[in-house]
């Protein structure tokens, strides 16, 4: 997989407030009265109204925009330059507003669009924080406020985990796409990349097994088209004021954790085996599994090198961000950004992940 990094120099913006919508109710009793008074003409009008309603109902799900599963119909074109950006969600604040890391990701997506690097942006994320609206809708509002046309934004509002981000975006791949830019924060990128690799590989293998004997699949190789994954990490705010974090407060909002803790926790999720265990068998955590898909990463021939690269990158990331003891929100004394993006995938220091930033171990 070719990995590149887009520089993170965009300004940060606040999300727009949600808009109110008014509905229109039609009285069934009134329609029946009209039918009794004007049986001939009104009957035709009512049938037309019903036809319009059915048409609108059919238009509610635009199947033409969605990726088709059969390999001879898929929207994926392996090797094509056409690209999309997938902006991964982040739990919203208790008041429903977007945290800084989500604004940073939206700014990166805006930059990729303005540069012409990507054609569309998929904003992915449900409402795992239970604030009443989705991460996808909040990110979409941020992008629209920043001047991004609504028609280039695709909202994926089902995902509550990174694994579900990867799985559900496959439904919305535009026709002719060959490349996917993963847009997420520096601390999240190693785990996110590994999960996308394993979820996508599971999808390809499942499709190959399903359609292998279908006479409509005339490809001699019987190899499902692949998407190239490209990293587009954002640089988080690195602060020196430890009094601003709630790293050791039970029940604290995740957005109040220090950047150092966020990076160290991500490393622990990988190093402890929680990531792979949560995608297969009985869920051992509430973080990563996909319902109802089971992904046994040991069945993937590419899992070994994928995991090794993810661990090296996660260790390098956590080690570099260990001094960032403030939450990744602007405020307090800012330290020079300690990482070089993209973060190297080779490890030169300790090979034991437990040795990295041990003070942040939970």
Mean pLDDT, rounded, for 297-318:
97
* Amino acid 213: pLDDT: 97
CB 328 within 8 A of CB 235: no
Q: How many Å apart are CA 229 and CA 110, to the nearest integer?
A: 19
Residue 87 CA to residue 138 CA, distance in Å, equals 12
Phi and psi torsions of 178, nearest 5°: -120, -5
**Rounded mean pLDDT, 334-357:** 93
CA 273 from chain center: how many Å?
A: 21
- pLDDT given at position 12: 42
- Please name each of the domains of the chain with its CATH number: 67-356 (3.40.50.620)
How far apart, in whole angstroms, are the C-alpha atoms of residue 177 and residue 196? 16
Q: What is the pLDDT of residue 130?
A: 86
Give the Cα separation of 15 and 4 in Å (integer): 28
Q: Write down the pLDDT at residue 93.
A: 87
- Given this model, what pLDDT does residue 32 score? 32
- Res. 309: pLDDT tops 70: yes
State pLDDT tens for residues 132-159: 889 999 999 989 988 889 999 999 999 9
pLDDT of residue 43 exceeding 80: no
Q: In angstroms, rounded to a whole number, what is the distance separating the alpha carbons of residues 85 and 193?
A: 13
Q: What is the pLDDT of residues 228-252, one digit of tens each?
A: 999 999 999 999 999 999 999 998 9
What whole-number distance in Å separates Cα of residue 288 and Cα of residue 194? 12
Q: Contact 136/126 with Cβ under 8 angstroms? A: yes
Least confident of 3-7, 91-95, 189-193, 293-297: 3-7
Q: What is the predicted pLDDT for the residue at 186? A: 98
* Structure confidence at residue 325 as a pLDDT band (50, 70, 90): very high
What pLDDT shows up at residue 28? 34
pLDDT, position 285? 66
- Do 324 and 6 contact (CB within 8 A), yes or no? no
Collapsed DSSP state (helix, strand, coil) of residue 65: helix
- Provide the pLDDT for residue 7: 52
Q: Which range among 186-200, 260-274, 280-294, 314-328 shows the weakest confidence by mean pLDDT?
A: 280-294
Q: What is the tens place of the pLDDT at every residue in 151-180?
A: 999 999 999 889 999 999 999 999 999 999
Decide if 279 contacts 297 (C-beta within 8 A).
yes
When the pLDDT of each residue in the chain is averaged and rounded to a whole number, the result is 84
User: What are the pLDDT digits (tens) for 68-86?
Assistant: 999 999 999 999 999 999 9
pTM of the model: 0.83
Task: State how far the alpha carbon of 318 is from the alpha carbons of 41, 137, 232, in Å.
Answer: 72, 30, 18
User: What is residue 360's predicted lDDT score, i.e. its pLDDT?
Assistant: 60
Q: Please state, in angstroms and rounded to a whole number, the distance separating the CA atoms of residues 169 and 180.
A: 10
Backbone phi, then psi, for 177, in 5-degree steps? -85, 135
- Distance, in Å, from the CA atom of 177 to the CA atom of 85, rounded to the nearest integer, reads 11
- pLDDT at position 192 over 90: yes
3-state secondary structure of 170: helix
C-alpha to C-alpha distances, 5 to 78, 181, 332, nearest whole angstrom = 21, 9, 28
Edge-to-edge strands of the sheet including 153-156? 153-156, 120-124, 83-88, 179-185, 228-234
């Amino acid at each position: 997989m070719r990995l590149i990094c887009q520089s993170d120099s965009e300004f940060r913006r606040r999300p727009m407030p949600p808009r109110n919508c008014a509905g229109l109710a039609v009285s069934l009793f009134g329609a029946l009265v009209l039918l009794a008074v004007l049986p001939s003409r009104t009957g035709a009008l009512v049938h037309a109204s019903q036809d319009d309603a059915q048409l609108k109902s059919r238009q509610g799900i635009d199947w033409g925009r969605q990726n088709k599963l059969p390999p001879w119909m898929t929207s994926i074109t392996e090797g094509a330059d056409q690209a999309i950006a997938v902006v991964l969600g982040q739990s919203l604040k208790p008041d429903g507003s977007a945290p800084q890391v989500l604004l940073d990701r939206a700014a990166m997506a805006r930059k990729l669009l303005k540069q012409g690097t990507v054609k569309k942006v998929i904003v992915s994320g449900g409402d795992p924080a239970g604030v009443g609206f989705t991460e996808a809708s909040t990110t979409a509002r941020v992008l629209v406020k920043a001047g991004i046309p609504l028609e280039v934004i695709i909202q994926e509002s089902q995902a509550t985990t990174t694994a579900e981000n990867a799985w559900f975006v496959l439904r919305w791949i535009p026709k002719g796409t060959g490349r996917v830019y993963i847009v997420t924060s520096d601390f999240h990128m190693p785990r996110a990349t590994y999960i996308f690799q394993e979820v996508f590989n599971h999808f390809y293998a499942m499709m190959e097994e399903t359609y292998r004997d279908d006479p409509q699949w005339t490809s001699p190789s019987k190899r499902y088209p692949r998407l190239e994954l490209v990293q587009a990490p954002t640089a988080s705010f690195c602060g020196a004021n430890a009094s601003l974090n709630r790293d050791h407060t039970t029940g604290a909002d995740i957005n109040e954790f220090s950047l150092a803790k966020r990076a160290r926790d991500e490393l622990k999720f990988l190093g402890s085996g929680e990531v792979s265990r949560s995608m297969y068998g009985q869920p051992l955590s509430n973080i990563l599994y996909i319902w109802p898909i089971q992904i046994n990463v040991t069945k993937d021939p590419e899992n070994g090198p994928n995991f090794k690269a993810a661990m090296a990158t996660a260790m390098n990331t956590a080690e570099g961000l260990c001094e960032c003891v403030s939450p990744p929100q602007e405020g307090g004394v800012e330290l020079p950004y300690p990482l070089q993006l993209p973060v190297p995938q080779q490890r030169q220091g300790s090979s034991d992940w437990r040795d990295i930033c041990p003070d942040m171990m939970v």
